[in-house]
């Protein structure tokens, strides 16, 4: 069944719920199909005014009204919410958890069997329709659950399926990734400014270069090493710049950063 025929509800209307809702609405979906329940009235008013979604006063009513329920509360609140709604989830509904570090098994224990949980690790560029999201399927998930999660997150970017054992790696790569990319964009812009470019122009050139390179990888399907090779003239400017990056061990630094973040995600679960 297409997403347009299903009601989608968020429990928790914070940063990530707003980003996903904005991305979905931007993709052309009708906000009247979206519901949010939140403990803060001010947040509900803000989201309904800004996005035109349906505010719901309590989590229980949201579960009664929605085909897909997205848990978008902080990890520490998941147990409390599941104790409240877990027994109300029906087999034809799909429960999606966004909570970092919370396993599908943990969420499923609050529901009668056989109920499905899908765990998703999104990132904030869903706001502009360019999210990089990964999902894993818990036990009892059916084709309909997979179709629904893909339909939602493909409306707001790109989505891949991974085994649950690799979700921490996803957190370290694409979950935390936007912050790394912002740092790189900022650094390139600063380099331009240092060498005399006006700030605004340096930032546009830096950010657009990252966007363009990413599109080249995704749209040509070529490996980045081949694309890099194609723009590197022997003895030229790019070769000189690349040598400097290799000399500074850029590759190893980035690999270490993703490893550190993945380990941190693992630690936070304990």
Q: Which residues bind ligand NAP (CB under 6 A)?
A: 11-17, 37-40, 43, 59, 72-75, 77, 80-81, 98-100, 121-122, 124, 175
Question: Do β-strands 117-121 and 131-137 pair in parallel, antiparallel, or remain unpaired?
Answer: antiparallel
CB 98 within 8 A of CB 16: yes
> Taking the complex as a whole, how short is the minimal distance between the CB of residue 195 and ligand NAP, in angstroms?
34
> Taking the complex as a whole, how short is the minimal distance between the CB of residue 40 and ligand NAP, in angstroms?
5
- What's 162-184 look like in SS3? CCHHHHHHHHHHHHCHHHHHHHH
Task: Pick between residue 98 and residue 189 the one whose CB is nearest to ligand NAP.
Answer: 98
**Closest residue to bound ligand NAP by CB:** 14
> Taking the complex as a whole, how short is the minimal distance between the CB of residue 143 and ligand NAP, in angstroms?
25
The span from the CA of 9 to the CA of 36, in Å, is: 6
> Taking the complex as a whole, how short is the minimal distance between the CB of residue 104 and ligand NAP, in angstroms?
14
Strand ranges, E, within the chain: 8-11, 34-37, 54-56, 68-71, 94-97, 117-121, 131-137, 157-161
Task: Pick between residue 54 and residue 59 the one whose CB is nearest to ligand NAP.
Answer: 59
> Taking the complex as a whole, how short is the minimal distance between the CB of residue 146 and ligand NAP, in angstroms?
19
The span from the CA of 11 to the CA of 202, in Å, is: 41
Taking alpha carbons only, the member of 42, 34, 37 closest to residue 61 is: 37
Tokens of residue 200, six digits: 């605004």
Task: Pick between residue 3 and residue 73 the one whose CB is nearest to ligand NAP.
Answer: 73
Query: Tokens 């060498």 correspond to what residue?
Result: 195
CB 93 within 8 A of CB 31: no
Task: Pick between residue 37 and residue 141 the one whose CB is nearest to ligand NAP.
Answer: 37
Task: Pick between residue 39 and residue 216 the one whose CB is nearest to ligand NAP.
Answer: 39
Task: Pick between residue 136 and residue 189 the one whose CB is nearest to ligand NAP.
Answer: 136
Tokens of residue 95, six digits: 């429960």
> Taking the complex as a whole, how short is the minimal distance between the CB of residue 100 and ligand NAP, in angstroms?
3
Task: Pick between residue 76 and residue 195 the one whose CB is nearest to ligand NAP.
Answer: 76
Q: Give the CA-trace dihedral at 138, 146, 134, 224, to 10 degrees.
A: 140
> Taking the complex as a whole, how short is the minimal distance between the CB of residue 163 and ligand NAP, in angstroms?
18
């Amino acid at each position: 069944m297409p997403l347009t025929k299903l009601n989608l509800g968020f429990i928790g209307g914070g940063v990530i719920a707003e980003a996903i809702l904005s991305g979905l609405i931007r993709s052309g979906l009708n906000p009247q199909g979206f519901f949010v329940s939140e403990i803060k009235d001010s947040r509900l008013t803000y989201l309904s005014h800004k996005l035109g979604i349906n505010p719901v006063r309590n989590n229980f009513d949201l579960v009664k009204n929605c085909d897909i329920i997205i848990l978008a509360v902080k990890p520490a609140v998941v147990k409390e919410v599941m104790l409240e709604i877990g027994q109300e989830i029906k087999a034809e509904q799909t429960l999606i958890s966004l909570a970092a570090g919370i396993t599908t098994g943990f969420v499923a224990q609050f529901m009668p069997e056989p109920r499905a949980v899908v765990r998703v690790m999104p990132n904030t560029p869903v706001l502009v329709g360019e999210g990089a999201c990964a999902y894993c399927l818990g036990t009892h998930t059916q084709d309909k659950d997979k179709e629904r999660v893909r339909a939602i997150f493909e409306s707001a970017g790109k989505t891949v399926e991974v085994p649950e054992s690799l979700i921490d790696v996803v957190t370290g790569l694409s979950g935390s990734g936007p912050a790394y990319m912002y740092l790189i964009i900022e650094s390139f812009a600063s380099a331009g400014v240092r060498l005399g470019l006006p700030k605004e122009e340096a930032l546009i050139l830096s950010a657009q270069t990252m966007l363009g390179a990413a599109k080249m990888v995704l749209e040509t399907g070529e490996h980045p090493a081949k694309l890099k090779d194609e723009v590197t003239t022997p003895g030229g400017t790019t070769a000189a710049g690349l040598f400097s990056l290799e000399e500074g061990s850029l590759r190893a630094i980035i690999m270490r950063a993703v490893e550190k973040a993945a380990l941190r995600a693992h630690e936070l679960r304990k």
